[in-house]
Structure 1
């Protein structure tokens, strides 16, 4: 069974993530490409450091090549944003990164991209799922990888330099050179080191790295840059007197930031800071796109500058497509992914970190200072969240209660609106909100809340968990 979620197809290695399933997926992709008469454009593939990523990339390639579709194969381990850039640069109709992003080490997966380097839409992934369900392994063609190279059906490429040069051309390297920044980078055993270190050293930053070796177990941690997983980075930033600590997830499309005081800066605040910087300091214009679980501080900033904030379901494909149709300036999510107009259509932790360093260099302010300025100007918005696991039986009960019977707690705050666009989100008249939704990438129930104080946000989550009888479930955040 292959099911795509908000971040592609992800599955446990040896269970659903197997050579057989990858070959079936590849054949379904080949069939779709031929139906759309896009076979002459080829297909681009990249992979990260996870266990089986390199082999899975070749399994996918061997099926596509056997169908006569040329594959542009990135010959080095690559961040997902580099793969998306490659799809755009080589003009292929489709491409894929073999990665499970921030999932645990026993997962792997495939992120599928479409023309221009965008995340595949639900229409595309739904069609692939239908094709796979009608297929069997006998239908999947395959040929040896080396034979495919010899016949010109595989071309090994390296778009690294052009990707790096593109980012450098989009940032103010002179301002960064003059700031003498000292940066500590934590790739979390993932793939960001080479790309981000190259950019920052080019801009004359002093860069040191931790957790940069190849470790398919990610050092025993979840490769997701959050306040719980970046403790070593927090301590070392303070001890080493660094200006900034940067953590990136397994495939480098998301980031986590530590300020000069060793504080974890929530991705909500990073997104708000960058939006404010682009409007106020660079003089750019345009709205902002956020998903339903991301801070409403963005709404306040947009309104102050005569711009609009657009709310979309979770899944970066919704952010990138809305950015395109609305010509928005920036788009992002509370999990640490963001992109800016003029770059690739998907999230890029390497580019986001580069712009963040430019912001500190241009403003000549510490990160903590800038955040306080933004909060004083536009209001204090504090987030809380909780992720909880459940069984299939428990999930059915939750669906019945929340989405069929549409039951909700009796909140202490006056309700302004309720939305079932993605999960159930309750908007309060005091500008606070709470949302409950099932993760599209992991078997988790996710609860997010935002209020004027962190205490009130946590109280909302506790109330919701009590209402759903989840207080005894194992919380994973």
Structure 2
């Protein structure tokens, strides 16, 4: 029987780039998670008796909120809930389940690459029926509802056994605990030449994969070790832990330093990779060669035709605005359209659904294609493995040959984390006010050609997204981008993106910090980073 629980609005429930993210203790407050889930159900489109997908990255508080969501879904007229065994669903696997089983949408419980544990982060985001993140119109409607909500609905029912495959009734609703690993692995086998990869492994090709004690572990073990034949132990930290083993599950040079030590050591394997907390990001590093996410997008797009799922060619390439223009050069060479979107995978959804783009990427280690509507860390790793197996070369050689053909976009992102929000806002406000006066100004040996705040006109639905980040473009093709991140839970994170293009025949194999030194100095001078933040160096460089 449905029970109505009176409630009042909770402050701060505006979804960010990837849903609602707060500290666990915030979500543990009475009515907090329930209000948000009910607000989602109050506004999203669905037919009576629709299916809902629920799962998360296994972080602390995951199982509790899954049980809450199941009861609230039963009270709100859903006919079925599909949940991953153990409550585990990687973000790309959740997108696949939504699409495969025709669900009306899904709740993904994750804070992605943010740390987990009782004192750390938790998150909820809603994905729509195409498997992708809810667009801005939906998230705005959810937020509006959180500000007026006065009740949430539930049923009195025991917890569902999330560790046992099979069906359970919760009132009139069926809960199916499914093996999402098998579903996802079958999808990957339909896209990639597993025989070619297996043959490369049998020929001595070696790999190290760090699952970072996060959600990708079970998927990576099944695919890399069980189906592709890599030796047991190839997948490190493969068991998902509620606190990610006390580590920060962000696949970059700082938080995946053990993998970097391995790949730059004397006995490095041929290929190294990692994924993040919820499985949608990736790290690619060859023997003594790190590949930036921007370069990885470009290199994958240039070679995707070598995988069976993309043998017919690409419809187009899309990248987020802060991502380097390396993919643009590939698109131009292949005669393909290239779309520049705001940060956030939801902006790729329309392009993918309309068949205008096939491969998409973000500089924050997210790459994916039209096989789902989320970025997909393990997908990117498998496409790399497919390409290397067919071309019979290593990562370093592939990178050098790519730059010799297209030139190189030296690129880095500097993150200033947990800044006081008022200081970060003041920096951006002052920077925006200065834009009209920056054109033509010199900074060292660099001269600004144009400066603006990026605005995106969606070519599919005609919607406009403004205020998406400040772009400073210099003569000769270099640029700096400034934006505040929407993925943190504490204070504000200022992200500064630095890019220098070196054409074919130029210096294509220099150290990135050396090549970006002038841009780093110019960025501080233009935005007054040290003056506003008190920081003389970023917290994280990727």
TM-score normalised to structure 1 length:
0.93
Distance 1:276 1:383 in 2: 19
Q: What is the aligned partner in structure 1 of residue 50 from structure 2?
A: 41
Q: Note if contact 1:386-1:461 (Cα within 8 Å) is conserved in structure 2.
A: no
- Aligned partner of 1:233 among 250, 254, 259: 259
Q: C-alpha displacement at 1:110, in angstroms? A: 1.0
- Aligned partner of 1:275 among 301, 310, 315: 301
Q: What is the aligned partner in structure 2 of residue 447 from structure 1?
A: 496
The answer on 1:424 being equivalent to 2:432 is no
Q: Note if contact 1:19-1:59 (Cα within 8 Å) is conserved in structure 2.
A: no
Distance 1:123 1:415 in 2: 35
Distance 2:477 2:251 in 1: 28
Q: C-alpha displacement at 1:195, in angstroms? A: 0.9
User: Between Structure 1 and Structure 2, how many residues are aligned?
Assistant: 472
Q: C-alpha displacement at 1:80, in angstroms? A: 1.3
Secondary structure of the corresponding residue to residue 278 of structure 1: helix
Q: C-alpha displacement at 1:52, in angstroms? A: 0.4
Q: What are the equivalent positions in structure 2 for 1:117-196 lying under 5 Å apart? A: 117-136=131-150, 138-146=151-159, 149-158=169-178, 159-180=180-201, 181-196=205-220
Q: C-alpha displacement at 1:379, in angstroms? A: 0.4
Q: C-alpha displacement at 1:388, in angstroms? A: 1.3
Distance 1:67 1:405 in 2: 50
Distance 2:30 2:52 in 1: 19
Q: What are the equivalent positions in structure 2 for 1:109-124 lying under 5 Å apart? A: 109-124=123-138
Distance 2:442 2:24 in 1: 43
Q: What are the equivalent positions in structure 2 for 1:327-338 lying under 5 Å apart? A: 327-338=356-367
The answer on 1:347 being equivalent to 2:375 is yes
Q: What are the equivalent positions in structure 2 for 1:21-100 lying under 5 Å apart? A: 21-33=32-44, 36-70=45-79, 71-76=81-86, 77-100=88-111
Q: Greater CA deviation, 396-405 or 359-368?
A: 396-405
Secondary structure of the corresponding residue to residue 31 of structure 1: helix
Distance 1:17 1:129 in 2: 19
Q: What are the equivalent positions in structure 2 for 1:351-390 lying under 5 Å apart? A: 351-389=379-417, 390=419
Distance 1:20 1:410 in 2: 54
Distance 1:17 1:466, change over 3 A: farther
Secondary structure of the corresponding residue to residue 232 of structure 1: helix
Secondary structure of the corresponding residue to residue 60 of structure 2: coil
Q: Note if contact 2:485-2:495 (Cα within 8 Å) is conserved in structure 1.
A: yes
Distance 1:17 1:292, change over 3 A: farther
Distance 1:123 1:143 in 2: 33
Distance 1:184 1:280, change over 3 A: closer
Cα RMSD (Å) of the superposition?
A: 2.2
Q: Note if contact 2:368-2:376 (Cα within 8 Å) is conserved in structure 1.
A: yes
Give deviations 1:217-253, integer Å, cap 9, x for gaps.
3344321101122221123344554221111101111
Distance 1:462 1:218 in 2: 36
Secondary structure of the corresponding residue to residue 457 of structure 1: helix
Distance 1:153 1:255, change over 3 A: same
Q: Note if contact 2:317-2:327 (Cα within 8 Å) is conserved in structure 1.
A: yes
Distance 1:58 1:83 in 2: 17
Q: C-alpha displacement at 1:74, in angstroms? A: 2.3
Distance 1:61 1:259 in 2: 43
Q: What is the aligned partner in structure 2 of residue 200 from structure 1?
A: 224
The answer on 1:260 being equivalent to 2:287 is yes
The answer on 1:318 being equivalent to 2:338 is no
Distance 1:145 1:457, change over 3 A: farther
Distance 1:413 1:124, change over 3 A: same
Q: C-alpha displacement at 1:115, in angstroms? A: 0.7
Q: C-alpha displacement at 1:187, in angstroms? A: 0.6
Distance 1:204 1:104 in 2: 31
Q: C-alpha displacement at 1:410, in angstroms? A: 4.3
- Aligned partner of 1:435 among 458, 465, 481: 481
Q: Greater CA deviation, 439-448 or 363-372?
A: 439-448
Q: Which runs of 5+ in 2 are unaligned?
A: 1-11, 161-167, 455-467, 503-511
Distance 1:46 1:345 in 2: 16
Q: C-alpha displacement at 1:380, in angstroms? A: 1.4
TM-score normalised to structure 2 length:
0.82
Distance 2:354 2:452 in 1: 23
The answer on 1:249 being equivalent to 2:247 is no
Secondary structure of the corresponding residue to residue 184 of structure 1: strand
Q: Which runs of 5+ in 1 are unaligned?
A: none
